[in-house]
Structure 1
Amino acid sequence: MDAERPAPARRGLADQAWLLLMLPGLFWAGNAVLGRAVAGEVPPVALAFWRWALGALIVLPFAWRHLPHDLRMMARRWPLMLVITALGIGVFNTFLYVGLATTTALNAVMMQSAMPVLIVLMSLVLFGETLTLRQGLGIAVSLAGAVTLIARGDPQTLTALQFNRGDLWVLAAVIAYAAYTALLRNRPKVHGLSFIVATFALGALMLLPFYVAESLGGRPLVLHPTALGAIGYVAVFPSILAYLAFNRSVALVGANTAGLAIHLVPVFGALLSILLLGEQPHWYHGVGIALIAAGIVLATRKAR
Structure 2
Amino acid sequence: MTTAGENTGDTSPWRGGVNGHLPTPRPVPEGAAPAAEAVTAAEAARLKQQQRVTYAGYAGLVVVVGIAAAMSWHGLVGFAERQLEMTSPWSYGVPVSLDVAAMVCGFLALRSVISHDSAAGPRLLTFLLVAGSAWANYYQADHLPGGDSHTPAALYFGGMSILSFFLWDVVLRQIRRSMLKTIGAVEKPLPKFRLVRWIRYPRETFAAWSVSVRYGLTRPEQALDRVWETYQAQEAEEEIKQLVELERLPEGISKRAAIELAFKALGGIDAPAAVEWCKERGVEVDRSYAYEVARKIEPPQLEAVV
Task: Report which of the two has the higher share of helix.
Answer: 1
Common fold by TM > 0.5 = no
What TM-score does the superposition give when structure 1 sets the normalisation length?
A: 0.26
Structure with the bigger RCO (C-alpha within 8 Å, sep 6+) is 1
Return the TM-score normalized by structure 2.
0.26
